[in-house]
Amino acid sequence: MRHTKSTTIPSIPDALTAPFAPVRAVFHAASWELLWRVGLGLVVGDAGHSLVRAALVGPWTAQWRRLHRCFHRNAWPERAVIAALVTSVLLLLYGSGLPDRLFWAVDTTLTPHPGAPHMPGVSLRCRSRCRPGETRRVPGHQWVVLAHLWERAGCWVGLPVGARLVTPASRPLIVLHWLVSAAHLPLSSLLVVDRGLATKALLRWAVPRRLHVLGRLKRSTVVYDPPPPRPAPPGPGRPREYGPPHPVPALPPTRTRPGATTLVYQGKTVAVTFQQGCFRWRRVPGLLRVLVVTGPWAQPWYLRCTDRALDPARAVRASAARWQVEVLTQDSQRLGLGHYRGRTARGVRRWPLVVCLATCVLPWLRLERIHLPLPAVSWPWYPVQNTPGMTQVRLQACWATWQAHHHCSPDAHGPPIPTKIPDPVSDTLGGPMVSR
């Protein structure tokens, strides 16, 4: 028997889509609706078995072919999506007035695909750390993730604004240049990077663009004093560019000043001390602020910052907040970054942008930047409601309530919502290929 009536699906609340108005302008109306339902399916569902359960929030009559065209064929520029997502994040957090400093964390992450060596962009990558029984090199995707670090009441929250695939023909530093250029960061931005990306080439690239970089130094790094002033009648030869050398662990006390601050380390607020001074680094223009931070860890932190006007204590706290991007990449992989099984290079490149869109929703709901009435969880043994896990549980319960309110019985109004994604979406999001 053919059903003549269709089920009524719950519409996406305006409170969720309103903050992403700049991103909405990049997409076609039909593609944006399906794209949002896939992102919301990532948040309220899961990405197990290499499939995104977008059918949880999608209609059974949805034209999934449009989603396939949106991922693989439509010409929506990735640079415009990243710039629009940066604009959405800044408008929602700060409104029209930006603070004096904007912190951005940049890090690399690996999504192993040992069973899919023929996917676009898959190559042998080195794990940063190996568990027992794991090999050092594994086939997979390497991503460079750009996230905004928002300071709120002494705590830091990471919000992803873009990610880019590192292809075998490129390097992470080149991808970082592409991400920062596509994001159109304001002039008051400071990049917080790890030691693998904190190279001299990055500093030489960032200084002419009026971007500041904060990163760590190796223990074997040698810095130099500023050159002495030239005498009044200049003598023969070139003027000196560097003064006496100093290893970073043995900076002279006459060239440094002490300081102290508190930061969050392994979930606890600890007191740390530091020594800071301005030095030169070979083949890097200008003076750098070098900090030696001592705390409840084995070896001191050796930091360098190109922004000498930044408070040293704030620079130390921002460097400790870079670990937020580690948690952020784990959440992104859990939501679906590591489960994608695309067959085209364009689909692989565009997929992390959808994951970034979905990952921004949970922190904004938890921090009440998006005002959406979520049901309370009446668990007396779990009084905290606005944790990341509880926010997802409450959003799942809220969406189940919307579905129960909008959907009628399947016998009266058509077939039920499918429990599996149709074949066109399986083709788009990594399932079996279908014949066209």
Query: What is the per-residue pLDDT for 319?
Result: 94
Alpha-carbon distances, residue 359 vs 46, 55, 327 (angstroms): 13, 19, 11
- Of 74, 76, 120, 65, which is closest to residue 341 (Cα–Cα)? 120
Using one digit for the tens of pLDDT, what is the confidence trace for 208-267? 999 999 999 999 999 999 998 877 777 777 888 899 999 999 999 999 999 999 998 888
pLDDT exceeds cutoff 70 at 59: no
More reliable by pLDDT, 406 or 144: 144
Cα separation, 206 vs 212, in Å, equals: 7
Confidence band, pLDDT 50/70/90 cuts, at residue 10 = low
Using one digit for the tens of pLDDT, what is the confidence trace for 30-40? 778 778 878 87
Alpha-carbon distances, residue 120 vs 63, 243, 353 (angstroms): 26, 50, 17
Query: What is the per-residue pLDDT for 181?
Result: 94
79-83, 96-100, 353-357: range with highest mean pLDDT: 79-83
Structural domain span for residue 90: 79-227+240-331
Last residue of a domain, one of 331, 365, 398: 331
The stretch 78-98 carries a mean pLDDT of: 92
Cα separation, 147 vs 131, in Å, equals: 27
Number of structural domains in the chain: 2
Cα separation, 303 vs 314, in Å, equals: 12
58 and 87 together in one domain: no
Using one digit for the tens of pLDDT, what is the confidence trace for 265-301? 888 899 999 999 999 999 999 999 999 999 999 899 9
- Of 143, 189, 182, which is closest to residue 325 (Cα–Cα)? 143
Last residue of a domain, one of 310, 331, 352: 331
118 and 72 together in one domain: no
The stretch 188-206 carries a mean pLDDT of: 91
Asked whether 183 and 211 are in contact (CB, 8 A), the reply is: no
Residue 348 counted as domain residue: no
Confidence band, pLDDT 50/70/90 cuts, at residue 9 = low
Cα separation, 73 vs 344, in Å, equals: 10
Residue 344 counted as domain residue: no
Which ranges constitute the DSSP H helices of 292-344? 312-320, 324-335
6 and 147 together in one domain: no
The stretch 61-70 carries a mean pLDDT of: 65
Cα separation, 306 vs 198, in Å, equals: 11
Query: What is the per-residue pLDDT for 419?
Result: 38
Query: What is the per-residue pLDDT for 91?
Result: 93
Residue 373 counted as domain residue: no
The stretch 412-422 carries a mean pLDDT of: 35
Q: Percentage of the chain surpassing pLDDT 70?
A: 79
Query: What is the per-residue pLDDT for 60?
Result: 54
Residue 423 makes CB contacts below 8 A (sequence gap 6+) with: 431, 432, 434
Last residue of a domain, one of 331, 355, 377: 331
CATH code of the domain containing 307: 3.90.350.10
Q: What is the DSSP string of 181-242?
A: HHHT--TTEEEEE-TTT--HHHHHHHGGGT-EEEEE--TT-EEEPPPPPPPSS--SSPPP--
Confidence band, pLDDT 50/70/90 cuts, at residue 117 = low
254 and 112 together in one domain: yes
Reduced to 3 DSSP states, what percent helix, strand and coil does the chain have, rounded to the nearest 5?
A: 40, 20, 40
72 and 92 together in one domain: no
Asked whether 360 and 159 are in contact (CB, 8 A), the reply is: yes
265 and 293 together in one domain: yes
Cα separation, 285 vs 212, in Å, equals: 12
Residue 307 counted as domain residue: yes
Confidence band, pLDDT 50/70/90 cuts, at residue 13 = confident
Asked whether 176 and 144 are in contact (CB, 8 A), the reply is: yes
